[in-house]
A = this chain, B = another copy of it.
Amino acid sequence: MKLDSRKLQILQAIINDYIITAEPVGSRTVARKYNLGISSATIRNEMSDLEEMGFLEQPHTSAGRVPSDKAYRLYVDRLMRIRELTDQEAEYVKRTYQEKIMQLEQVIFQTAKVLSDITDYTSIALAPQLNKVTIRHIQLVPVDKDFALLVVVTSSGILKDTLIRIPEGIDSDFLQKVSNILNDHFQGRTFDQIDIKDIAPIREVFARNQKFFNSLVDILTGRLRESQQKEVYLGGTTNIFNFPEYQDILRARSFLNLMEEKDLLYHILSRSNDGGVKVTIGTENPHEELKECSIVTATYSLGDRVLGTIGIIGPTRMEYSKAVSVMDYMGKALSTYLTRLFGE
């Protein structure tokens, strides 16, 4: 059976209607609302065909039809018209990035907030992944006789710091010396490139302070990386209650539980980090709990290096045209902002 242009028109009408109303769409509705110049009976026949082809589903006999994931996919790839941001929306984004926030966390957090405000979906933003950025500066800052602060600044302005206990008899000159060595070795590298073997030669500098040396290595190769990698910021989690399909308490609950699983979210989002906007519809996502959700992601970069991912998540009946344009716009706006702030 061929998907001729009339079938496409009907399919598009059904998808449009269902996205707005969340109610199964019947042949009469299509005939009335969308002047296609054909009768409901003809539309009925076409809809029957579309169902057979897997684009439509029927919740039960005597209900209208609902688009399938396959239909949404077709819609996203071929049918939908990208809808530009309104002036207000663009203005809102601009205003957010006008403030000179110097802490990256804040920037990412704000981005998530803007995304959920504009789209009314739930937004997710991943902090930059450390294996994507290079180390710009390492410094051990003496705090008092027992503690020093290990600060690592990366090319994207990420700051990672930890208090570290220092053994007795270490003075600030020694700390400075260590800082210099660390900088010499690791400046310009990514965290992935920090290798135990590289570190070995430094070991001798530490003389009797092997324990101190070990904890430094520990932090640089392990802890900092982990703590950063799973940083997931959410916006508008309770927006989900706006959708009729989540009036059911069990569904809402399982959705919100899912949003608490930062590890999972991290994995879902970080799969798409090859740049550009990506749409994952319903069962295209391998996770069972997400089979009735769609996710639209975009990446953000510093210069030409992709740093991380931002995304929104909502019911499969999502306003894709808006979602895609917003994600595209925000990914670019965030990249521009970061490059301006931390550009190399």
Contact = CB atoms under 8 A, between A and B. Distances in A.
A252 interface: yes
A143 B139 CA distance: 9
A30 to B, nearest CB: 31
Contacts of A306: none
A17 to B, nearest CB: 25
B141 A141 contact: yes
Contacts of A20: none
Contacts of A227: 103, 106
A244 to B, nearest CB: 11
Nearest to A234: B260
A143 B260 CA distance: 35
Contact of A238 (B141, B164, B247, B256): B256
A151 B227 CA distance: 19
A102 interface: yes
B256 A237 contact: yes
A253 B237 CA distance: 10
A149 B143 contact: no
Contacts of A249: 241, 247, 249, 252
Interface stretch (A154-162, A200-208, A285-293): A154-162
A332 interface: no
A162 B105 CA distance: 11
Which of A106, A147, A163 has the largest count of B CB atoms less than 10 A from its CB? A163
Contacts of A141: 137, 139, 141, 151
A226 to B, nearest CB: 11
Nearest to A137: B143
Given A102-B163, A159-B161, A151 B153 contact: no
A189 interface: no
A106 B165 CA distance: 17
Contacts of A163: 102-103, 153, 157, 159
A136 interface: yes
Q: Which of A136, A247, A252 has the most CB of B within 10 A?
A: A252
A103 B142 CA distance: 16
A153 B143 contact: yes
A106 to B, nearest CB: 8
A141 B161 CA distance: 12
For the complex of A and B, the 8 pairs showing the least CB-CB separation, nearest first, are A102-B163, A241-B253, A137-B143, A139-B141, A143-B153, A238-B256, A102-B162, A238-B257
Interface of A: 102-103, 106, 136-137, 139, 141-144, 147, 149, 151, 153, 157, 159, 161-165, 227, 237-238, 241, 247, 249, 252-253, 256-257, 260
